[in-house]
């Protein structure tokens, strides 16, 4: 974490000193999120599961283009995730 903090600070300072607006904007964004970025080096917790769920919902949304009934779309999402938990339970017992 400490070496990452040093390397990021060095890069941020170099980017801010440059005359490239895109790099300066990126450096400002990294400064705003520096704590969270550095925490990723010391924590094993990720949001991968949530991102995977969001991706499945987006794929279903693309495939279900034209659904007029939101409740039907919602039920389809719930159905997909209920099947996923059943499959995980089956794999855990075998």
Each residue's pLDDT tens digit, 68-86: 788 888 888 888 888 765 5
Q: Are 12 and 30 in contact (CB under 8 A)?
A: yes
Q: Are 8 and 36 in contact (CB under 8 A)?
A: no
Q: What is the pTM of this model?
A: 0.51
d(CA 60, CA 80): 9
In this prediction, residue 46 carries a pLDDT of 84
Enclosing H/E stretch for 50 = helix 48-63
Chain centre distance of CA 62: 19
User: What would the two tokens of residue 57 be?
Assistant: 């919902």
């Amino acid at each position: 974490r400490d070496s990452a903090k040093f390397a990021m600070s060095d890069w941020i300072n170099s980017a801010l000193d440059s005359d490239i607006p895109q790099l300066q904007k990126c450096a400002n964004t990294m400064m705003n999120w520096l704590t969270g970025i550095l925490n990723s080096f010391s924590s094993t917790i990720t949001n991968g599961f949530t991102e995977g769920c969001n991706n499945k919902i987006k794929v279903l949304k693309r495939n279900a283009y034209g659904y007029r009934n939101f409740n039907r779309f919602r039920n389809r999402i719930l159905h997909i995730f209920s099947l996923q938990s059943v499959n995980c339970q089956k794999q855990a017992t075998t």
